[in-house]
Amino acid sequence: MIQPPFGRLLTAMVTPFAPDGSVNLDEARRLAAHLVDEQHHDALVINGTTGEAPTTTNEEKRALLAAVVAEVGDRAQVVAGVGTFDTRHTLELADQAEQAGADGLLVVTPYYSRPPQDAVAAHFLAVADAGSLPILVYDIPHRTGTPIETATLLQIAGHDRIVGVKDAKANPVASSQVIASTGLAYYAGDDAITLPLLAVGGVGVVGTSTHFTGARMKALIETFLAGDLAGAIAQNAALLPVFTGVFATQGCMLVKAGLAARGFAPGGCRRPLLEASPEQAAAFVALLEAAGL
């Protein structure tokens, strides 16, 4: 089996904001420690979409990454989201992340401009050539507008520093073809597809609901890897309402609502996102309670 370069369980961590709208580094450190020490994460993704990276400045990204590395970098890996729709800017963020102590990079397909596949490949290879950190490419066409086609994945898999894929394409046949033909480590980019992806050779998850389900998601993965398929199916069924319910509206909004209900201080979301409505928050917290979380 393909070995996971960043462990099995990762979460795309939210970015806590203070009441004045600034990044709350103390709360970020507290949340990171909770995820690693109590939810048993192998790695955290900082400055991803769930971390509202499109709204944070380069300096905020640097400070947040450095704070999390200082808090948990001795016992978990820290992966920095550096993807933008501008290759030059992505290269700047990748260099900044390396200097801040990141263990790896998450690079999303350039969005909005919808580059053709040769340009998509050139973008990822430029980032891989420029630094020394291992890279997860992030395939999420319903957000970016552009899938990373199978031929493109096979092409870029030849680069030593492109080690895996965060897969939110919802095309398990295409994913299994790449897994079978390359050494790329496939991580589910949608919590609910973790078990199906494991079944075709995936290695783990970069989750959102795993802010809450982390310890049990890790147990699910370990149960599957131990060969207990019936047990893994049962664990998946118990958590499925949370896996899907976190996306009843934008996932970041509901994660922050759930964390606030659990005694954390994640703050609100930066525009254009809003805070979850009281009804949305209550419905999500009820799902957590029903799942025993």
Instruction: Give residue-wise pLDDT tens across range 81-103.
Output: 999 999 999 999 999 999 999 99
Strand partners, 80: 46, 105
Question: To the nearest whole percent, how much of the chain has pLDDT over 90?
Answer: 100
**Which one of the listed residues 61, 138, 169, 218 is annotated catalytic?**
138
Query: 259 in a domain, yes or no?
Result: no
Residue 226 has pLDDT above 90, yes or no: yes
Q: Is residue 55 part of a domain?
A: yes
State mean pLDDT over 243-250: 95
pLDDT confidence of 1, banded at 50, 70, 90? Answer: confident
Domain annotation covers residue 275: no
Overall average pLDDT of the 185-200 stretch? 98
Percentage of the residues of the chain whose pLDDT score is greater than 70: 100
**Phi-psi category of 21—alpha, beta or left, where left has phi over 0 and alpha has psi -120 to 50?**
left
User: Which CATH number is 158's domain given?
Assistant: 3.20.20.70
In the chain, the amino acid numbered 127 is V
Determine contact, residues 137/110, Cβ cutoff 8 Å: no
Is 204 a residue whose pLDDT tops 90?
yes
CA pair distance 194, 112, nearest whole angstrom? 27
Active site residue 112: no
Catalytic annotation present for 111 = no
The percent helix, strand, coil of the chain (3-state, each to 5) is 50, 15, 35
User: How many distinct structural domains can be found in the chain?
Assistant: 1
Q: Which of 174, 178, 215, 172 is nearest to 190 (CA)?
A: 172
pLDDT at residue 292 is higher than 90: yes
Beta carbons within 8 Å of 41's beta carbon, 6+ residues apart: 7, 9, 10, 11, 35, 76, 210, 214, 218
200 belongs to a structural domain: yes
Within a domain: residue 226?
yes
Residue of 166, 169, 218, 256 marked active site: 166
What phi-psi label fits residue 190: left (phi over 0), alpha (psi between -120 and 50 degrees) or beta? beta
- The answer to whether residues 293 and 212 touch, using CB atoms and an 8 Å cutoff, is yes
Q: Is the pLDDT of residue 266 over 90?
A: yes
Does residue 99 lie in a domain region?
A: yes
Burial of 20 (0-12, 13-18, 19+ CB in 10 A): exposed
Model confidence pLDDT, tens digit, residues 153-163: 999 999 999 99
Q: Are 109 and 148 contacting, i.e. CB atoms less than 8 angstroms apart?
A: yes
Residue 263 lies in a domain: no
Phi/psi at 166 (5° precision): -90, 110
Structural domain includes residue 31: yes
Tokens of 113: 């401009």
Print the domain residue range for 26: 9-244
> Is residue 109 a contact partner of residue 146, using CB atoms and an 8 Å limit?
yes
